[in-house]
Amino acid sequence: MERAAVLKELEEARSSFRNLLGQASRADLRRRSNGTRWTNRQLLFHMLFGYLIVRTLLPLVRFLGRRPPEWSRRFAATLNAGRRPFHLINFLGSWGGGQVLPITVMIKLMDKTVRALQHNLSLENEQGLVLTMHFPKSWDPYFRDTMSVFDVYHYGTQHFDHHRNQLSL
């Protein structure tokens, strides 16, 4: 995949998110999603949260990508060991965030986050994009054993698309 393709998929996700929230009725948002324990509104917050996580992961990948691979291997192993608390926090955070964050704020936060990711990706040099670190594969089905900075930019949309298919709007 090329940089231009990831920039385009980020824009498509941003636009899709805006449309999904803009067209959904209150009843649609309260309806249970398909295959999760969240409502559509909570799942949409979780989809937004995936991009917020990407913004947090990028500096970490850059930092650990400049260290010996054993550093990130140990870090990923530690995170894998804590997967149960992570999954609970992930569930409860999206449950709560989807309950309290106003729709307008969710849309603005998605716009701001994706635009920042697009801007940063457009400025990344090739040496930075290929930095890699080990990831906690048990945390997410789209995490691989090692991922590059570029992979992390793409991950957000993989996560988004996966969950978009679970919406029952």
Domain ranges of the chain: 3-164
C-beta separation of 121 from 153 below 8 A: yes
Report the CATH superfamily, name and number, of domain 3-164. Answer: dinb family like domain (1.20.120.450)
pLDDT 10s per residue in the chain (169 long)? 899 999 999 999 999 999 999 999 999 999 999 999 999 999 999 999 999 999 999 999 999 999 999 999 999 999 888 878 877 887 888 888 888 999 999 999 999 999 999 999 999 999 999 999 999 988 888 999 999 999 999 999 999 999 999 999 9
Q: What is the pLDDT of residues 24-73, one digit of tens each?
A: 999 999 999 999 999 999 999 999 999 999 999 999 999 999 999 999 99
Interatomic CA distance for residues 166 and 169, integer angstroms: 9
Query: d(Cα 129, Cα 138) in Å, to the nearest integer?
Result: 24
The DSSP bridge partners found for residue 148 are 132
